[in-house]
Amino acid sequence: MNATDEHNEEPNEHKWVCQIMVAEGVIGVLGNLLVCYVILRVKFLHNMTNYLLVNLAVADMLLCLQVFLYYLTSDCKLIDFSRFGNSVRDLFCRLLSSKFLGWVLSYASAYNLCVVTLERYIAIVHPLRYARKLTTARIVTLIVLMWVISFLISLPIIFTIEPSNNPNKICSIKYPHPLFPILLSIFTFLFGYLLPLTLMSLAYYKMQVTLKRQAKALKLQHARAAAYDLVIARQNLVSMLRTVLGALIVLWTVDYFAILLCFQQTDKAQFLFCGSTGYHYTRVFANSLFNFNSVINPIIYEFKYKKFRQGLKVAFFSCFKRHGGNRVDFAMFINFGAQSSP
């Protein structure tokens, strides 16, 4: 029995899985939309790092939206695609049921974080080369290239599933070759998980060492408070980004190791247990953790990113600061945030 047949026999499980995933999707879309709104609206948050965080939030928001649509149409059965024509069913199977869109957006999320890490790495470890190496044109090129690569390396997933001739199933898993799922799982593990996370971990280690050395040198030289405060602000930003990376590692690890064993939940995969009930529950749990990573980033910004907290107050409470003497205080608050941005 494959995983799809098991799903048809477990409506109660469908119900709670659907509710959890749909809730994650809604919260993730709203949270990442809030990040985009705050950063784009508040002037002192307008810098390269925060613009890259907006791009990361867009990738996470689209991933949450994909999760919302997928579980509404598959587990919640809001739309019965079995009643549609072959072309609509084919699109549903190859884009949503295969999780092609989900993989594109998860690659984009990981690679977006890589671009953020690269920007901070050059700014901290090679500050004299920053203006020359990271021009606006190069950053835009990097972002476009990252999205194109995420799309291209996810294309093989389209060929792992197709519309089913069975009236009880909409889609069926079909591999072009027995080695295809093995190669795909290894490729996905290496390029979606191991390589980007390893490179980012090494970069953050190097940044932390550099910042500690700079702070120690400034303290010994009794440098001006503004210079020392700038280093501390950069340390805090790197600490926040390390927390984002740590959350990604914790929440993605179970799913990626499960994928390394079995790319999809079917007995046609690498091992016989890939279509078992136990493995199915493991993947449900792992998928829930994986999707939660796109929900948690706005929460991390709120607790770990001081400038974002200030921006949140400015964005939503500015109307209360525009009356009487508070208008001057509000202007001073904005100027302070702009001057002290790392």
Distance between CA atoms of residues 71 and 23, nearest Å: 10
Q: Nearest-CA neighbor of 52 among 124, 115, 135? A: 115
pTM given for the model: 0.83
5-19, 140-154, 213-227, 295-309 — which is least confidently predicted? Answer: 5-19
For the segment 249-263, the average pLDDT, to the nearest whole number, is: 91
| pLDDT for 121 | 94
296-300, 320-324, 326-330 — which is least confidently predicted? Answer: 326-330
Identify which has the larger pLDDT, 224 or 243: 243
Identify which has the larger pLDDT, 143 or 5: 143
Distance between CA atoms of residues 57 and 32, nearest Å: 5
Identify which has the larger pLDDT, 266 or 19: 19
> Is residue 127 pLDDT above 80, yes or no?
yes
What would you report as the CA-atom Rg of the chain, rounded to the nearest whole angstrom? Answer: 23
Q: Nearest-CA neighbor of 153 among 92, 113, 108, 96? A: 108
Q: Nearest-CA neighbor of 232 among 211, 254, 247, 203? A: 211
> Is residue 313 pLDDT above 80, yes or no?
yes
User: Residue with structure tokens 């599933």?
Assistant: 161
Report residue 183 as tokens: 């190669």
| Highest mean pLDDT of the ranges 123-127, 225-229, 273-277 | 123-127
Report residue 135 as tokens: 């021009």
* Residues paired with 161 in a beta bridge: 173
| pLDDT for 326 | 47
pLDDT in tens, 44-88: 999 999 999 999 999 999 999 998 888 877 766 666 665 666 777
Nearest-10 Cα torsion for 24, 27, 30, 32:
-60
pLDDT in tens, 166-188: 766 777 788 888 788 888 899 99
Distance between CA atoms of residues 192 and 173, nearest Å: 22
| pLDDT for 112 | 94
Report residue 153 as tokens: 């390396």
| pLDDT for 231 | 79
| pLDDT for 320 | 53
Contact 95, 70 (CB under 8 A): no
| pLDDT for 170 | 74
| pLDDT for 83 | 65
17-21, 149-153, 191-195 — which is least confidently predicted? Answer: 17-21
Q: Nearest-CA neighbor of 260 among 150, 183, 195, 198? A: 183
122-131, 177-186, 292-301 — which is least confidently predicted? Answer: 177-186
Contact 315, 337 (CB under 8 A): no
User: Residue with structure tokens 């295969």?
Assistant: 98
For the segment 309-314, the average pLDDT, to the nearest whole number, is: 88
Give the pLDDT band (50/70/90) at residue 289: very high
For the segment 228-246, the average pLDDT, to the nearest whole number, is: 85
Please state the domain extents for the chain.
3-339
User: Residue with structure tokens 């929460």?
Assistant: 299
| pLDDT for 173 | 80
| Superfamily per CATH, domain 3-339 | Rhodopsin 7-helix transmembrane proteins (1.20.1070.10)
